[in-house]
Structure 1
């Protein structure tokens, strides 16, 4: 019985994380940077790691995204999709999500790479506390 309850809880956690990721992607595709970033924790130690190094805090991430992408122009921002490759609960309040992001642009080119995020269940739902995208 305990195993069954544990599996049900893990499935509910997985679904909640998938919904949060879907909302973030929808924000990107709508050109709404705040909706896109809503999945990130407000904790100042929240980190994003990409080719140019580590960025800490949601405010710094917002600046990075605004500098790198034009959220007012869909042709320059691209259409984002994320394919989930793996998901692992890391206890009751943490999870690891591994995926592949793809940005497709109207001119036919695309950018794609792996992403792994650690999420924490906070008062506002599941929030990314660490993001490593290549």
Structure 2
């Protein structure tokens, strides 16, 4: 009898976790869609709202590791000084998982359509954490 109750308990818990995962996944994807829209409007400041506003934020790119929200923001402003350089951003999602409670892992591809500067594309890995009820990127590794 106890094994039966335990099995029902596991099924119920799994179902509840899945429902939460689906909701969280939608929130994360909505943030990414908003980021793409912000980028395409030339609004890097608003684009940064998807990132953890902390000195512990980590951005890994072709020049190495950048620590901190402000340094990451300044790096974006330096690398993308105008709309022609920014281009139009499109994200493609390759793999999405929740390796633990309050943590999400996303691998994807980005493409910048830039008629004047030449297109740019690459892959990214994002580590998300739910902090104070909001999903934020705590580590971004982007190649391209």
TM-score, normalised by the number of residues in structure 1: 0.92
Runs of 4+ in 1 over 3 A off after TM superposition: none
Deviations 1:56-113 (CA, angstroms, capped at 9, x unpaired): 111001111111112xx32221111111111011223110011101111124831111
Answering whether residue 102 of structure 2 is matched by residue 54 of structure 1, we say no
- What RMSD in Å do the two structures reach over aligned CA positions? 1.4
Write 1 or 2 for the structure with the bigger share of helix: 2
In 1, the alpha carbon distance for the partners of 2:129 and 2:136 equals 5
Q: Which SS does the other structure have where 1:100 is aligned?
A: strand
Q: Which of 55, 69, 73 is matched with 1:44 structurally?
A: 55
Answering whether residue 29 of structure 2 is matched by residue 8 of structure 1, we say no
Larger radius of gyration: 2
Q: Which SS does the other structure have where 1:4 is aligned?
A: helix
In 2, the alpha carbon distance for the partners of 1:30 and 1:53 equals 27
Counterpart in 2 of 1:77? 86
Answering whether residue 119 of structure 2 is matched by residue 110 of structure 1, we say yes
TM-score, normalised by the number of residues in structure 2: 0.86
In 1, the alpha carbon distance for the partners of 2:70 and 2:39 equals 16
Aligned residues: 132
**Where does the alignment leave 5 or more consecutive residues of structure 2 unmatched?**
1-11
In 2, the alpha carbon distance for the partners of 1:124 and 1:44 equals 19
Deviation at 1:121, TM superposition (A): 0.9
Q: Which of 65, 75, 93 is matched with 2:76 structurally?
A: 65
Answering whether residue 107 of structure 2 is matched by residue 119 of structure 1, we say no
Higher mean displacement: 117-126 or 92-101: 117-126
